[in-house]
Structure 1
């Protein structure tokens, strides 16, 4: 066989091998860059922030277990949400010695129809919410019911509660809804928390037991 032909074939093979090596290096380099870009892009993506629910209306309806016509209604209306101006109204008086069940309604009336924040957002995310109650001057005691919803740290959420009116008195009633508390405790029934943010903090004044 002609020596020139052999040398030409050898040169051609070397050229092909060299191009193959260059192509492989290019592909590997491109894959590395793509992986690096994707990784950096994932790291730089902002973490989505869950906005707090807009709450415009909070209504507490206490119903006497022995006389359903005996009710006390406490309502708070904040058209721009709980951080804005609000109006609190108390209708009716507690009856001395009576036991009441509390029905809660928490809505966003800026939607049409109104958004049921309690049942659509708070209860489904009960492990991230906790109700704290407080009284000052009025003789009311509370029990978190056995069928109450489980909240954070196996504590009762405080959405299903029973209230007993003691001796005749007048004072304030406070309801607080805490979002993502660091710790919650229902051992004294009224409830207490550490940390978290307040979705609701409302005080009703001049609440009476007659």
Structure 2
């Protein structure tokens, strides 16, 4: 009986030691997807400032995002900057900083539907000279109503045809966020 108790104690001790050991040498780092609740685009032309914003504080919850569009002047060029926030944290986490830090793995794409506008990348490029798109310009051409759509792609193929110029068609990758803002140009 004493022999069985000794074996039981050794067995339990062995299990405890094995459970305490872990492999801390994870070969693949985990890069969690960014939580983006708020997308703000600030467009400026001299002293004029137009704010486009989408807020979705419940993420994939039942409530639709609150989207604020804007009114721009016809035949005018605006400087743009985009900011991404995770407002589920206090204080809100600035996801734009993470996108900038991982510039090789991200690119914003801008497009217009229903209104003539031209988008051009400005600002800092990634380490390979490819655009990220945090900063940009948009030039309006004539009056009308439509939408501006902004898409952030994670791990796009930046060397694919047209991607460097802002054409999302061949970009691939995964969409981190895509928002359409109602726009009036007058």
> How far did 1:103 drift?
2.0
In 2, Cα distance between the equivalents of 1:45 and 1:103?
A: 37
Give the 5 Å matches for 1:15-30.
Answer: none
Q: Which has the higher helix share?
A: 1
In 2, Cα distance between the equivalents of 1:154 and 1:172?
A: 29
- Cα 1:197–1:122 change in 2 (3 A) is same
Task: Tell me if 1:112 matches 2:93.
Answer: no
Give the structure 2 partner of residue 150 of structure 1: 125
Give the structure 2 partner of residue 17 of structure 1: none
- TM-score normalized by structure 1? 0.68
Task: Tell me if 1:96 matches 2:71.
Answer: no
Q: Does the CA-based 8 Å contact 1:74-1:90 persist in structure 2?
A: yes
- Of 153, 168, 175, 1:198 maps to 175
Q: Moved runs in structure 1, 4+ residues, more than 6 A?
A: none
Larger RCO (CA within 8 A; separation ≥ 6): 2
In 2, Cα distance between the equivalents of 1:45 and 1:199?
A: 25
The answer for unaligned runs of 5 or more in structure 1 is: 1-40
Task: Tell me if 1:57 matches 2:38.
Answer: yes
Task: Tell me if 1:161 matches 2:139.
Answer: no
Give the structure 1 partner of residue 184 of structure 2: 208
Q: Does the CA-based 8 Å contact 1:131-1:191 persist in structure 2?
A: no
Q: Secondary structure at the match of 1:123?
A: helix
Q: Does the CA-based 8 Å contact 2:119-2:137 persist in structure 1?
A: yes
Q: Does the CA-based 8 Å contact 1:59-1:74 persist in structure 2?
A: yes
In 2, Cα distance between the equivalents of 1:203 and 1:154?
A: 28
The alignment of Structure 1 onto Structure 2 pairs a total of residues equal to: 159
The answer for unaligned runs of 5 or more in structure 2 is: 1-21
- Cα 1:127–1:208 change in 2 (3 A) is same
Q: Does the CA-based 8 Å contact 2:43-2:79 persist in structure 1?
A: yes
Q: Does the CA-based 8 Å contact 1:176-1:198 persist in structure 2?
A: yes
In 1, Cα distance between the equivalents of 2:72 and 2:147?
A: 13
- Cα 1:80–1:152 change in 2 (3 A) is farther
- Of 163, 171, 184, 2:146 maps to 171
Give the structure 2 partner of residue 6 of structure 1: none
Q: Does the CA-based 8 Å contact 2:163-2:171 persist in structure 1?
A: no
